[in-house]
């Protein structure tokens, strides 16, 4: 819901870091890969029973994830493959973090499976709508990304916020996970409704 607002502020906030990476010759794809490696470390910490440390590392990984696009635009190295790699590693990061929580709290195994299935449906509806709209020459998302992202109830920002809540409020995990599952499924329905109207 608030991803695009964050994306409009992020470039100014990380410009010094992005400029340093650009001067060092670090490629945007390398930044994407580094963000994923940091996310793996975050998931391992959560699975090992250190959720608060894990979400701190997770926040670092998301900062790195926001850097790749800034570096790409700064160095004029934006490519379709870069967009593909970014979203692929993003979804792998969100999923591996979820697995970390599932490993730490196996008693909630049903809802973890529901959330993981929700992730599959959420990204499928996003990319399917983007591709179908592009094939028809239509615009459904007003962003400068490789793919046409449409606003949803559950996006990257909400995912990170939920991970932080899971780490800080483990006693509420049962409720919070089902709330998150409902938000993801609502986003799938929301995007499917948009597709039904936009692709006729």
Does the pLDDT value for residue 11 go beyond 70? no
Cα–chain-centroid distance for residue 87? Answer: 8
| CATH code of residue 42 | 1.20.120.1760
DSSP state of 193: H
Mean pLDDT of 169-187: 96
* Total domains, the chain: 1
Q: What range does the domain containing 90 cover?
A: 3-198
For 103-156, write each residue's pLDDT tens digit.
999 999 999 999 999 999 998 988 887 777 767 766 666 565 666 667 778 888
Give residue 14's pLDDT band: very low, low, confident or very high (50, 70, 90): confident
What is the pTM for the complete model shown? 0.88
Q: Residue 26 region, left (φ>0) first, then alpha (ψ -120 to 50), else beta?
A: beta
What's the CA gap between 194 and 179, in Å, rounded? 23
CA 116, distance to chain mean position in Å, is 13
């Amino acid at each position: 819901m608030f991803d695009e607002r964050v994306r409009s502020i992020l470039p100014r906030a990380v410009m010094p870091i992005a400029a340093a990476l650009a001067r060092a010759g670090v490629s945007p794809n390398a930044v994407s890969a580094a963000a994923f490696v940091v996310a793996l470390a975050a998931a391992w910490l959560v699975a090992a029973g250190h959720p608060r440390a894990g979400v701190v590392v997770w926040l670092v990984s998301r900062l790195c994830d926001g850097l790749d696009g800034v570096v790409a635009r700064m160095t004029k190295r934006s490519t379709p493959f870069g967009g593909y790699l970014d979203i692929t590693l993003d979804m792998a990061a969100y999923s591996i973090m979820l697995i970390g929580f599932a490993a730490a709290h196996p008693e909630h195994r049903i809802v973890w499976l529901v959330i993981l299935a929700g992730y599959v449906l959420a990204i499928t509806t996003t990319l399917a709508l983007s591709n179908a709209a592009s094939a028809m020459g239509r615009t459904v998302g007003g962003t400068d990304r490789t793919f046409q992202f449409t606003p949803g109830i559950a996006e990257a920002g909400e995912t990170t916020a939920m991970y932080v809540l899971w780490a800080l409020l483990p006693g509420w995990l049962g409720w919070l996970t089902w709330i998150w599952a409902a938000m993801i499924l609502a986003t799938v329905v929301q995007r499917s409704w948009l597709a039904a109207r936009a692709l006729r």
